[in-house]
Amino acid sequence: MMGALFQRIAPLLALLALIVAITLLAGIADTVTARRVILFLVNVVCVVGLYVFMGNSGVLNFSSVGFMAIGAYVAALLTMPTGPKGMFLPDLPSWLAAAELPALAGPFLGGFFCAVVAVVVGMPIMRLSGIAAAIATFSLMFICYIVLGNWTSMTGGQISLMGLKAYVGLWTACAFAVGAVVVAFAYQETRWALALRASREDAVAAQASGIRVARLRLGAFTLGAFLCGVGGALYGHFQGTLRVESFYLDPTFLLVTMLVVGGMRSLTGAVVGCLVISLLTEILRLVEVGIPLPGTGVTLTAAAGFGDVVLAVLMLVILLFRPDGITGGREILGHLARRSG
């Protein structure tokens, strides 16, 4: 019995081990590297959130960054110290201006608020498929960007919001990343997720056999939005500042790239894609600064912005030559689970 359970959750254990190992390594590294790893862990939460919907339903989703933004601002508004809050956002309603909840309530309330929003806007959107769904979710991201960017009394509009409690350190981020992976894994083992994946292969047949595709999609969309909201809150409380501009096209592309490069049809793909792209970004950043080639006296440098170009090229190359991503849609150690039936 124990053996069967172990085989079933082997992919999960492997992923958790990977995340914890990276965190441990970062613990002994310099501060700059540690900060990069925190960002990686926060991204894991968001990419896993994107995966929960996109991977299981097979429907494109460009809205996750919108939910990140919502989660980040909700958490900030509820937990910011009243002093800086009153300074940056003098026009807040009084109850909100007075609110100063415990820091850790932020991610959960931000995520919860996102889940509520997702249920409401998801109801119409989840009836769409293919291109129409993609455009609708893209519109959603754009709406978030416009509303948050112009709602000056709530968000400060185009001005950065500063003075958030920067409590997200290495182990906090690690705990949330672990939590996100566990939630996503638990979800994909449910029969709802199974039915949803069946609809991914053939929506019409799934519907014909009684699967309520729209409802299942809404469930995954809501859970995904929750995770993205949590991720957004963590991002804000890692940086200590918030800017609406950081929740627009660039991160949208980054998250989708991470998931597609890893392989959008497996949780391993989400985590591995996040890791690979984070590593690559880091290497490219070093190249932009300049890497001295040992022994030659030559320094390898590239102009700023080079890294972004390489990232986009990599994305295209993966799509053209390995559209199922690095993992090919398989879970790490997934063969164990399959053998156990």
Partner 1 sequence: MNSAVQIAVDALSLGGLYALTALGIGLIFSVMRLANFAHAELVTCSAYVLFALSGHPLVMAFSGAVLVAVLLAVITERIAFRPLRRADPTTMMIASFAVSMLIQKLLIFGLGSRPKSLDPVPFLSQAVSIGPTQVSLLKLVTIGVCAVLLLALTLFLKRTSFGLQMRAAAENFTMAQLTGVRANAVIVVAFALSGVLAAVVALLFAAQSGFVQPRLGVPLMITAFVATVIGGMGSLPGAVIGGLLVGIVTTLLQAYLPPDLRPFREAFLFALVILALLVRPNGLFPARGLKERI
Give the x-and-dash track for 87-126 against partner 1 (CB under 8 A): ----------------------------------x--xx-
**Of 2-10, 82-90, 225-233, 307-315: span binding partner 1 (CB under 8 A):** 307-315
SS3 content of the chain, % helix, strand, coil (to 5): 75, 0, 25
**127 near partner 1, judged by CB under 8 A:** yes
**136 near partner 1, judged by CB under 8 A:** yes
Tally Cβ neighbours within 10 Å of residue 89: 21
Alpha-carbon span 54 to 79, nearest angstrom: 31
**290 near partner 1, judged by CB under 8 A:** no
Cβ contact 236:28 at 8 Å: no
**256 near partner 1, judged by CB under 8 A:** yes
Q: How far is the CB of 304 from partner 1 (least distance, A)?
A: 8
Tokens describing residue 85: 């809050």
| The only residue of 316, 328, 338, 340 in contact with partner 1, by rule CB under 8 A | 316
Tally Cβ neighbours within 10 Å of residue 330: 17
Using left for φ > 0, alpha for ψ between -120 and 50, and beta otherwise, residue 333 falls in: left
Q: How far is the CB of 291 from partner 1 (least distance, A)?
A: 19
SS3 label, residue 269:
helix
Alpha-carbon span 100 to 301, nearest angstrom: 46
**29 near partner 1, judged by CB under 8 A:** no
| The only residue of 84, 112, 116, 139 in contact with partner 1, by rule CB under 8 A | 139
Minimum CB distance to partner 1 smaller for 283 or for 312: 312
**308 near partner 1, judged by CB under 8 A:** yes
| The only residue of 140, 164, 181, 270 in contact with partner 1, by rule CB under 8 A | 140
Give the x-and-dash track for 43-62 against partner 1 (CB under 8 A): ---------------xxx--
How far is the first Cα of the chain from the last one, in angstroms, to the nearest whole number? Answer: 13
Tokens describing residue 71: 């989660």
Alpha-carbon span 80 to 100, nearest angstrom: 6
Q: How far is the CB of 241 from partner 1 (least distance, A)?
A: 20
Cβ contact 114:226 at 8 Å: yes
Tokens 């002994």, located at residue: 28
- Interacting residue ranges for partner 1, rule: CB under 8 A: 58-60, 121, 124-125, 127-132, 134-136, 138-140, 142-143, 146-147, 150-151, 249, 253, 256-257, 260, 303-306, 308-309, 311-313, 315-316, 319-320, 323
